[in-house]
Amino acid sequence: MRKFILVYNPISGDASFKFKLDNVIEAFQKKDCIIIPLRVSNEQESDTFIMLVKEIVVDGIIVSGGDGTIHSVINNMLRHEVDLPLGIIPSGTSNDFAAYLQLDKNIDTCVETITKGQRKRIDVGRVNDEYFFNVASAGLMTSVAHNADSMLKNTLGKIAYYLKGLGELPNFKALKMRIITEQQILEEDIFLFLIMNSGTVGGFPNLVPHAKIDDGKLDVLIVKKCNLPELMSLFISFLKGIHCNSRYVTCLQAETIYIECAEEVESDLDGELGPKLPLSVTILPRKISVFCS
């Protein structure tokens, strides 16, 4: 029988996964798989599963939660050089990466995907001494994920982020940043930059249509300074998927990126608080293995 550690966050999304845990274990047992559940709700607890991996031989790690929970697990895996396939059961407020991989929230479908055993090796980004699997960003909207009320997020999901972001627009100022890649140097007053592994960020699919998670490249989207009406119009363009046509948007690909800013600016990694600028970003090609359909 195969054996998996199931790392789950009891407060992710609508916090309902913990009530489905027995059904999940039963579904895996019907597929001749033993599940070892591990409850994780903070960073200290997330370290515990590494200790468990070192004590027990398992065939993979399954994560139930949102992008933040996956981010924590992947960082722990890479820091401790754990190379086990990762299964995902989307159950968070933000499930961008699962959406990009077209992973269903339905438990039975997730179990089928994981137990079938088909895998894909995907790239991972490294920022200073941390890792991200989907997106690194700074600027407008970056603080939204950290400041939006948790009850509001659980009730309204992505809408909570957008409402919070729209409220910040009138007071937000552009930041003078220097962005260096292996091919060019950009010095711009910008509102936001996104360094993406997949093309799905913040619930927006195909922000960069050609982005692939196994191409050894990072896709960078930069939103340059503009006035408030233009910024509001640009936000609508993002919703419609026509933002790449705007003169205020720059898209590029790179393997290494260095970003600095004279002001103190915090970054965001997969919806979690990241290091302050400057950032040294590199791509780690096909670094981890993920169960997918």
- 61 and 49 Cβ atoms separated by less than 8 Å: yes
Integer-rounded Cα Rg, in Å, for the chain is 19
- 284 and 124 Cβ atoms separated by less than 8 Å: yes
- Quote the CA–CA distance of 113 and 259 in Å, as a whole number: 38
Pick the catalytic residue from 55, 81, 188, 272: 272
Indicate if 272 belongs to the active site: yes
- Quote the CA–CA distance of 244 and 204 in Å, as a whole number: 13
- What letter represents residue 162's amino acid? Y
The DSSP line for the chain is: -EEEEEEE-TTSTTS-GGGGHHHHHHHHHTTTEEEEEEE--SHHHHTHHHHHHHHS--SEEEEEE-HHHHHHHHHHHHHTT----EEEEE-SS--HHHHHTT--S-HHHHHHHHHH--EEEEEEEEETTEEESSEEEEETTTTHHHHS-HHHHHHHTHHHHHHHHHHHGGG---EEEEEEESS-EEEEEEEEEEEESSS-BTTBTTSSTT--TTSS-EEEEEEE---HHHHHHHHHHHHHT-GGGSTTEEEEEESEEEEEESS--EEEETTEEEEESPEEEEEEEEEEEEE--
Among left, alpha and beta (phi > 0; psi -120 to 50; other), residue 203 is left
**Active site positions, annotated:** 272
